[in-house]
Amino acid sequence: MTAGLADLVGLSGIDKAFKEGQKWLQSFLLFEASENTIRAETEMLGAIQKQMDDASVKAMQDEMELQKRERDQRQAPERLYGSIDAAKVRIEPGMSWKKPWKGAKIGVI
């Protein structure tokens, strides 16, 4: 199994039950994998993610690493770009809201 296919098999186990992931792989990738293979690849992805999370937490708690990161900060760019948008969001009825639609705004820089 190639690394790319192993990632897809593992992701199918994350997104769906192993049996459903097996059907999905067969339908869309024309690839047959047992439920145990999907489970093993999903667990492997989980172990890799846990290692990355642990390393990230350790780095965030290391004062020397934080100071080094502060010193290594680049200068701010000359120009920043921003964008704003708004949308209406339907609120479930019966949640004591007077209006069923609320405005949601977002900004990105």
Q: Which amino acid is at 98?
A: K
In a domain, 75, yes or no: no
In a domain, 78, yes or no: no
In a domain, 90, yes or no: no
Exposed / middle / buried, residue 50 (Cβ in 10 Å: 0-12, 13-18, 19+)? exposed
In a domain, 94, yes or no: no
pLDDT tens digits for 40-83? 999 999 999 999 999 999 888 888 888 887 887 777 778 889 99
* DSSP β-bridge partners for residue 86: 105
At residue 52, the pLDDT reads: 95
At residue 96, the pLDDT reads: 61
At residue 78, the pLDDT reads: 85
Residue span of the structural domain in which 37 resides: 3-70
In a domain, 64, yes or no: yes
For the chain, what is the domain count? 1
pLDDT tens digits for 77-102? 788 899 999 998 887 766 666 677 88
Residue 44 main-chain phi, psi, to 5 deg = -65, -45
In a domain, 37, yes or no: yes
pTM: 0.55
